[in-house]
Structures are given as structure tokens and as C-alpha cells.
Structure 1
């Protein structure tokens, strides 16, 4: 086994600044001419977009709730083998999982045997970080907290107190990041639009420069250079012959990279825009991913030829998988937060609304005729008068609590608020039977 810099950036809690620091480190390492492979713990499909912009390389989700340990190890080693350095961003607090540590950043760090760099918000504390660091270092012996970066530090003298705490606890201090109100990433709720790229790129460059002034990145690389396990040679499966069409534009772009790679194994994948295109490509399977249709309601509604084409495809029995925003698009209409109603595809006889928004999120376990698959729910909208007659399966939380989340099946259209993960398990067969069969629809 060879050695390689590889580390997981974690924090005691959300809001510590690990995402901003991750972006800066990714860009700094890229600017040094290194091939950087970013990863994200958990089901987040927004941070992976930030990673890709900062590192110039696709970011991969690592999730031990939605997939097996073996799958997480396999994709980590496969993608890392192509890089000079691997950077994993954690999720929430270090030990926060779906149930205790299950699915947490700590569990993934232990599974992959990679060191942890802890980001600590030091805005209102000094030497008192010592017991916090001691607790995180010693709470669970299966992980290695190799170093710490302090965020929101007021001055060099402030950092000296924090450095003293590190030395007494036995954790390597890697420097600090001074507070800088000018360095703000774009809103994660609003996502990243293509038009934001130049502005975002400038922000990332500034963050990388800001961090490099006071963080010892060379020492970080040194202490995180550990044994790297080369990926096992996997059996190459035969590619299918299906024609697969995937919605991808500013309104629909919440996808997991491994899901798309799995679709490529089923056949040829073509991307299209429900916003701008007027014809639906010749297809056997249509994937309407989640996204932000609520930000583009006027454009989606005015594209009547596309709405009609998709309605015709669904009505003719075409296979469709629609997730969250994709499901909303298939409804009769979407009502915005100002109570203005916009006609949509109209295949599902129900309405979606952004009125009185309330967040609903969490891991989901789906049981369909004793076939189990996994996903994640994250949305602010709701369905009015849902089509209960088309509801199938049973949905459970990570703690096996039965939920009122619905999964709809009308003809060969499967739709839900759930963002499914099928990078490991071929759930298209669960939903549609043998997807190797060519039943191409011309619309």
C-alpha cells in the first residue's frame, strides 16, 4: 500500500465553518497543481456542487445509512486512486448520525481509517477549548483526531490560548482562521446557479488565500499522509441498451453522482432541459430529479410543448422516476409562496404548494413488496389533496418509525418527495421490473 494525504474535515457542531474551510482548502490544493478528490459525508447534494466548483472535480457522497460499508469503501478507494489528495467533508457534528453514531462522520472516518481535522468555532472561547478537545479526542478510540483548525479567531494572542489548549490535550494545532465578514458562500438553500459561477469562483479564491495566511496547510498534509488502500478490481458489468433521459438545468439538478453512473450502466444517457427544450428525447426511462422548480415557475409553465410531451409520455405508459421537485413538476400546478398558481405537466391530479413553508427532512427507508431501498427527504413544500389511491409501499424513518411520506405509482410513473439512492442497489428493477427490456417510447 502507498501513502497519500487523506483526511476528513469535521466539527463539534454545525455552524463551525467546516464547509467554508473545506472550500478554501480544496481550491488551495487545486491551485498548487494537485489532483484533488472531494467527498461529502451524508446525503447532501448541495455541498457536492460547492466541492466540484472549488476542486474542479466531481464530489462523491459517502453514506453508511443509504448504502453498505462495502459500497462506501469501494467508491472511496476507487475515486481516491485517481487523485493526489482526498478531502472528505463531514456532516453536522462529528458524532451526529441517523441513530447515535450510525451514519456519522466519525463512523465513516473509522471505516476508511483516515485522520480527522477538527474545525472548532473559537469565537467566544479561549483555553476552555481544552476539555472540548479532550472529550472529542478520547470519547471514541476508533478514530484519530490528528489536528485542529480554529475558526473565527480574533487575534494572534487569542490563538495562543487555543494553541496552549491543543498542546496540553495532545492534538496538533494547525492554525486559525480570522473572522472575515466579506467571505460568504452563496446561500445553500438557493443553491448554485450557472450564472453565479464567476462570482462564486472569486469568493473561493479569496477564501483559499485567507486561509493560507494563518493555517499551516503543509503540516496538515504531512500529518494526514497515511496508508492508502488501492481499490479492488471489480467485475465490469455489461452495459444495457436502454435510452435514458435525465432532466438537468437550473430547475432540476439534485442528483447523486453514483446514481447517474448506475443509469449509464443501463444504457445511453441523454440530458435535457424542461426549462429550455421543447421536445422530449426518444426514451425508455425518464428521470426527473429534484431541484428548485419553485424558482422557475413562470418559465416551466410557459413551456407548454414540453409539459404536453411529458404528459403524453407518462400517459402512454412510459417509465418515469420523479423525485421531489420532479414530482411537483408532474402535478397539475405549483402554487408559489405568494399564492400564485402556475400550471405544470398535469399528469398527477394533485397540486403542490410553497405556501406556509415548513421544512421536512430525514433519512427514509422504503419497503415496496418486501424490497427495501433507501433515500432522503428534504423539502419545504407540500402536496394538496394527495392521490392516496396511487400510494404504494411503506416509508420509515432511520429509527423505523412509520411516516406519512407518500410514494405514488400511476401506470409506470413512480413519484415521491424522497431522493432515492441507487448507486449500489438497482432500484429501477424494484420500481419497473426488468429494466433491460427495451420498451422505447416515441413522443
Structure 2
């Protein structure tokens, strides 16, 4: 699958593009991608970061390293044309697009849909293959040859080996590459102080890590990786100009954004702006609910700030009043948790907004993970059509709560989750991508515009 000439406008722009893919998760893709982005930015190159798949944590690190927004590329959620639109939104004004892959290079849903390899072939962009050196020497050659031969239509730029323990191991790996048809463009030493910290939902968010971390990582990559050859090997990809945003606002939508609510697809925010929304960012942890015509509560870590959120009684009251007045509210995962009555963390109960009657309980076990298609069954402000998204949670509700919609996974199998869809409320554990049905953003703004401040 390739980008065809008739899929871009006559005024299409171009940007050199490369894909960073790995043999498997845990190989150091994100660390290397952040290092490459930071190192090239330090040279004055306008890098544009992208992330394959539905992740909302890795993009925060890529954006911090590049110092510009990161966009998800996900054919399952947005389709091929939607993926091209996502790329166009993020690529404008850039000198080089760097796409970090997901899991192993060929890993996706049924038929490899949404895999890093599919994205590389869609854009005809070369792959920089990342391999983990832990516990391996010359046998790495067999792994490289396996990837080269598995799908000959994938084009490779070269490879970088991470987690190299010593100069002796590096010499063994150099010998291994001499037996393959792939050039190694760098050996990244084992990182003691530069590994990205993790917790239950994955990596820490970029906002919790000092900027100096990314600067130091960029210098390390510049010292150990052939950046000139990597940049020279990128292939130009044509893309159409992104949509023009309206000059005047149609409605105001307040977006919760702080340490507790930090999971958003950048494109969702763009789509709302393109539909005429004026976005007002606020912190539920510290600020009162802004006067707005609609509200958007994204995912994040409300469980880490439960005690602080429980004190926000004035915000709870204002949110209930906004809902009573018919103002549309979109809430996803952590935002959905926040709308409920109670959050239980380590057997201690904390009061939440109480807009919904549920009691949410954090657990130590993963409760749900995977793509979801939500099928609304009642009238609502957001969409009469299916919306696609992703669910990833360690919490659950003590009582069933799934009203106004059905949910299926990527294979069409019905799954149980929690949420409420009705008139002016669309709340669930699923992070919906508005690019799966772009009219949803227009519907959101239209409903908000009909409400008075």
C-alpha cells in the first residue's frame, strides 16, 4: 500500500521521512527515537515526531524531545486516508519526519493492520531497525536476516543496536553485521541513568521528567549513532496541506489538562479547533471549572491524585450544573473515572464528582487492553455512527455500568466495558479517536454552540 499521487493535492508538500521499528517491545525504540529527535533538534533541524498505534504516553516523550506536538498514525482507528491526514497535520513546516513504531515491526491486529511495517509501506519510508543486544552476540545476524527476508517489500535504512554492555560485545556484533545485508549505524551503550521510568500504565509522562534528560540523551545518541547517514537515508513523502482552521470561534470547550488528566490524541484537539472550537485548558487539580459551552476530560492518572481531587467540591458542583444545563461532556478513561461518585485506592475511598453513581476501584491487575469500536444505541451529542478508540485500564467498577452503547474489539467480538452515552454525555473507559468519524468533532462543537455560557 503506497501514497498515490491522487491522494494528495496539487499543492502537496514534501518531507524526508524515516520509521524507527524494532524486533520486539522493550528494545529501546522510544529511548532511541527521543535521542535522535533531540540530537537533530540540537543541530537546528525542525524534526516532526509521530507514533504508530494508539499509545498516548510515548507521544509525550517524542513531543518533548522534538519540542513540537506528536501525532499518532493508526490505520485501524482512522483508516488509510485518516492516517494520511494525521501525517499532514504533524508534518507541516518540518525538515524531517521521524515515525516511532509500535511493538515489533510486523505486529498489528488481524493481517498486520496497524503495524509499523504497514505504516512504512504506506509512506514508502525506510525503516531503521532497532535490536536489543542483551544476552546475544553473533546470533544477532540470524535475527537480522529473518527480518530482511520476512517481507522483502519493506525497505531498510540500517540498524541501531541498543543495550550494548561492553566494547567486546560491540566487536562481536560488528562481526555479526558483516554476515548480513544490513548496515549498522550505531551501538548505543547500556543506559544506567537514561532509561525512561515506568509505572502501571507504562512510561512516566514527559512532563514528569526534566528537560535536561532529553538534552543529555540527544548528546549520547549523537556520539554513538551516525545521524548524518540516518538523515541522508530518509525518503521524501508528499502530503497535502492540513485543513485551514476557521478565523472565528463557534463555541468554547474547556479541556482538563494537568498531571491527573494528560492523555489526549493531539489530532482530537486539532479536529475540535478545525470545527470551530476555542479550547480553554484548565487544571481540575488547581483551578475552578471554567465558564465554557462544552467540556472534555481526557485520561490520565486520577488515582495518583485522588486525595487532592476529592477536595474539589466547588468544581464538582459546577460540573453537575453544567451537565444539568445541557452542556456536552466528553470523558475518557480517567475522565470517566472522575465523573463517578467514588474512587477506591488501596482500600481507601475518595469522593469524586458524583455526576455518575459508580464506585471505581483501582486494582493491581490489568483489567482491559485493546482496540474498541463503540456503537452508540441512543441519541447523543457526539456521534450516531461507530467511533473507534483504545482501552487500557487497571481499574474497574463495583457494579455494571454500560448504558447507551455496545462495544466490540478489533476482530468484531463483543466486549464488556463501562460507560454512559446519553444526550449531552459521552463517557467511557475508551479513548475515542475523533478521526475515526471526523463529523463527531463538528457535532461536539455544534452542540456546545447551542448552549449559553
2:361 is aligned to 353
Q: Does 1:192 align with 2:205?
A: yes
Match of 1:102 in 2: 113
> Match for residue 383 of structure 1?
397
Q: Distance in 2 between matches of 1:239 and 1:371?
A: 28
Q: What displacement does 1:118 show?
A: 0.5
1:334 aligns with 2:347: no
Partner residue, 2:418: 406
Q: How does 1:230-269 map to 2 (within 5 A)?
A: 230-231=239-240, 241-264=250-273, 265-269=275-279
Q: 2: CA distance between counterparts of 1:399 and 1:385? A: 27
Match of 2:41 among 17, 30, 51: 30
Kindly report which structure 2 residues correspond to 1:260-409, keeping only aligned pairs within 5 A, or say none.
Answer: 260-264=269-273, 265-278=275-288, 280-336=289-345, 338-369=346-377, 371-388=385-402, 391-409=403-421
Residue correspondence of structure 1 range 91-240 to structure 2 within 5 A: 91-187=102-198, 189=202, 191-192=204-205, 194=207, 196-197=208-209, 200-224=210-234, 226-231=235-240
Question: What is the DSSP-based 3-state SS (H/G/I as helix, E as strand, rest coil) of the residue aligned with 2:195?
Answer: coil
Distance 1:242 1:172 in 2: 53
- Superposed CA RMSD: 2.3
Distance 1:357 1:158, change over 3 A: closer
Compared CA separation, residues 232 and 316, structure 1 to 2 (3 A) = closer
1:239, 1:59 → 2: CA distance?
Answer: 26
Pick closer, same or farther for the CA change 1:17–1:270 going to 2, 3 Å: same
- Would you say the 8 A contact 1:428–1:435 is kept in 2? no
**What is the CA deviation profile of residues 366-409 of structure 1, one whole-angstrom value per residue up to 9, with x for unaligned ones?**
22247221000011011121335xx1221111111110123312
Contact map agreement 2:92 2:241 (CA 8 A) in 1:
no
Q: Distance in 2 between matches of 1:404 and 1:241?
A: 36
Query: 1:358 offset after TM fit, Å?
Result: 2.8
CA contact (8 A) 1:117 1:146 kept: yes
Give CA-to-partner distance per residue, 1:103-122, whole Å, 9 cap, x none: 00000010011100001011
Give, in angstroms, the shift of residue 237 of structure 1.
6.7
SS of the counterpart of 1:222? helix
Structure 1: stretches of 5+ with no match in the other structure: none
- SS state of the match for residue 211, structure 1? helix
Alignment deviations for residues 316-343 of structure 1 (CA, whole Å, 9 cap, x no partner):
332111111111111111111x211111
Distance 1:422 1:238, change over 3 A: farther
- Aligned residue in 1 for 2:5: none
**C-alpha distance in 2 between matches for 1:70 and 1:103:** 13
TM-score normalised per structure 2: 0.89
Pairwise CA distance, 1:2: 8.3
Displacement, 1:276? 1.0
Secondary structure of 2:76's counterpart equals: coil
